[in-house]
Amino acid sequence: MICGATEQYPGGTMAESGRAGRRREWTRAELIEIFGSVLLFSRLPGPQLEAVALAAERQAFRRGALIIRQGTEGDGLYVVASGSVLVSREARSGSKRALNVIEAPGSFGELALLDNRTRSASIEALEDSELFCISRESFLGLLSKDPRLVDGLIRELGRMIRRLSDQVADEGLLDLPSRVAKTLLRLIDHQGPLKSGDQPVVALTQGKLADLAGGSRQSVNGALSSFVVRGLIRIETRQIVITDLAGLRARAGVT
Amino acid sequence: MICGATEQYPGGTMAESGRAGRRREWTRAELIEIFGSVLLFSRLPGPQLEAVALAAERQAFRRGALIIRQGTEGDGLYVVASGSVLVSREARSGSKRALNVIEAPGSFGELALLDNRTRSASIEALEDSELFCISRESFLGLLSKDPRLVDGLIRELGRMIRRLSDQVADEGLLDLPSRVAKTLLRLIDHQGPLKSGDQPVVALTQGKLADLAGGSRQSVNGALSSFVVRGLIRIETRQIVITDLAGLRARAGVT
DNA sequence: CACGCAGTGTCGGATGCCTGACAGATCGGC
DNA sequence: GCCGATCTGTCAGGCATCCGACACTGCGTG
């Protein structure tokens, strides 16, 4: 057991459930495609990518499953191959604050590579998802063999810092509706460019969106309703469709 | 002019003003001491530290001077040799949010090394301060010559991420008094261990502390007053003395 | 197919925090 | 040593947001 708990399907087979469901193994080409799309590994050529993928342990999680519990031991880096996960921190009081959503292809757990502290956040699967887990030891081995990985790591960390600085600054500087708008924009712009004609979609319950925006579910619902009135978005169950991207940008106060 | 604007003393000599005042040049030993204490350079041996110091341009700033303006061009890394600086972001509206205080010995501007974007935050001198500025070009040169620098950079970035994650989570999860308490704790624990007998001191005006904690000056003042009543702190002009560290930790909700 | 649970929409009261205002204290420059 | 600017302390009014409550909808599960 390289990467901690693996009993993600406690006594049952994985149910096919929407687009995330997937039982077959990945082909070599697919793996290279996925790992190469992760910023951390983006500088690596094909063969090295394959080596990374080989060092990883495949794991699958159902929608809602807890992948990492904040405060526990664990030193693995995870690559999200399919599906998406929610990064959140919880206070002693039980209330929790969501920090980020990571969609395939993406990665999380980079911090555990740098120090040996306990997990700083909890990770939950937003849909049925498949992850690849690479132990700290394996990663450091790869790192020493290929300095291009260092480059990717630094870029990844830099991006995280910019994002987090933004979030801290927005918090308390913007009112809730603006924060909601900004959160929506943040979520759609780090899911790649969309196919032409399609409208960007944020697939989250309003509750989780509220955790991300730092407000109560009710208030976020109110903000969203006001956006609907102005034709900026359309609300569907478990997801929000952006119908007027420019208008939403304006509402968020982005130039 | 390697590191941007340098006219920090517009037509005047630097006034001796408290502990920060300092006119003479630094000795080689002092430079090594300072640079070696910066996490970014902590892994480098003496000779390399000296090389780094030689690549840096010395600059001095008066209390209150604007060192970097958010949104401007600039690619230098700064080392704080004496004094302290405030990192903050401002919104279009003019209101600003302080992110962090960096005291000597410390560094800022690491992000500019990673990408070529404009400055993501403004930097202001909290006291008369002396900085050493290293251009991106110089730094990358040093980086390629000594891989130990990479190690330091990654550690530095990792620490920033943990700190920022904490801040985002606290925001909106804690009420203002708790946030104020936590901000005070954060400020004193990354200024090194104190001499025995001394009580930790946070040298900030209540206004700037409010910017850091994400509240209004008035509310922060109220929170501080309540701490005084409970004997946790003592308020002096332009600084706050922690008289009951354990009590303050409890108030912040830290175990 | 029917039930249960999760998600959505909406109220109204309670309140923490902000805004604006002002007086006294302290600092720093002339 | 004086004076302006900065900093601290405090109050009252207003409002954004939270919280608890409840009805309705729709998904997925047995």
Which strand C nucleotides have any atom less than 7 A from protein CB atoms? 6-12, 16-21, 26-29
Closest-CA residue to A253 (of A185, A161, A163, A168): A185
**Tens digits of residue pLDDT in B100-109:** 999 989 999 9
Supply φ then ψ for residue B216, to 5 degrees: -85, 160
Residue B60 token pair: 């001095």
What's the CA B9/C1' C23 distance, rounded, in angstroms?
35
**Residue B252 bridge partners (DSSP):** none
In whole angstroms, give the CA distance from residue A42 to residue A32.
10
Residue A196's SS3 state is coil
Residue A194: its pLDDT value, please? 67
Radius of gyration in angstroms for the set of CA atoms belonging to chain B, rounded to a whole number: 19
Residue B6: its pLDDT value, please? 47
Mean pLDDT for A31-54 is 95
| Cα separation values, A25 from A30, A31, A61, Å | 10, 10, 15
Does A39 reach chain B within 8 Å, measured CB to CB? no
- The residue to which tokens 């920060």 are assigned: B20
- The residue to which tokens 């309003």 are assigned: A206
In whole angstroms, give the CA distance from residue A11 to residue A54.
27
In whole angstroms, give the CA distance from residue A161 to residue B25.
34
In whole angstroms, give the CA distance from residue A215 to residue A250.
20
Identify the band that residue B17 occupies on the pLDDT scale cut at 50, 70 and 90. very low
For residue B86, list chain A residues with Cβ-Cβ distance below 8 A. none
Residue A97 token pair: 């604050």
Q: How many residues does chain B have?
A: 255
The total of other beta-carbon atoms located within 10 Å of residue A47's CB is 8
Residue B126 token pair: 């909290």
Sign for the CA dihedral angle at A167, A173, A176, A180 comes to negative
CB distance A59 to A132 below 8 Å: yes
Please provide the average confidence, as pLDDT, over all residues in chain B.
Answer: 89
In whole angstroms, give the CA distance from residue A48 to residue A73.
29
The total of other beta-carbon atoms located within 10 Å of residue B184's CB is 27
**Exposure pattern of A157-185 as b/e (b: 16+ CB <10 Å)?**
bbbbbbbbbbbbbbbbbbebbbbbbbbbb
**Tens digits of residue pLDDT in A110-144:** 998 888 899 999 999 999 999 999 999 999 999 98
pLDDT at B76 over 80: yes
The total of other beta-carbon atoms located within 10 Å of residue A65's CB is 16
pLDDT at B4 over 70: no
Does A191 reach chain B within 8 Å, measured CB to CB? no
Residue A255: its pLDDT value, please? 54
- Which residue in chain A is spatially nearest to B157 when comparing CA positions? A157
CB distance A109 to A78 below 8 Å: yes
CB distance B22 to B82 below 8 Å: yes
The total of other beta-carbon atoms located within 10 Å of residue A77's CB is 23
Check CB contact under 8 Å for A168 and B172: no
Residue type for A223, please? Answer: A
Residue A114: its pLDDT value, please? 87
Q: Give the global pTM.
A: 0.90
Check CB contact under 8 Å for B162 and A111: yes
Supply φ then ψ for residue B184, to 5 degrees: -60, -45
In whole angstroms, give the CA distance from residue A91 to residue A124.
16
Closest nucleotide to B12: CA versus each C1':
C29
In whole angstroms, give the CA distance from residue A72 to residue A118.
5
Check CB contact under 8 Å for A171 and B214: yes
Residue B20 is classified by DSSP as G
Supply φ then ψ for residue A168, to 5 degrees: -60, -40
CB distance B97 to B214 below 8 Å: yes
| Share of residues in chain B with pLDDT > 90 (%) | 76
User: What residue is closest to C20 (Cα–C1')?
Assistant: B218
For residue B153, list chain A residues with Cβ-Cβ distance below 8 A. 154
Which of A35-44, A94-103, A212-221, B196-205 is predicted with the least confidence, judged by mean pLDDT?
Answer: B196-205
Residue B116: its pLDDT value, please? 86
**Tens digits of residue pLDDT in A196-231:** 668 999 999 999 999 999 999 999 999 999 999 999
**Tens digits of residue pLDDT in A55-111:** 999 999 999 999 999 999 998 999 999 999 999 998 877 789 999 999 989 999 999
Mean pLDDT for B224-238 is 97
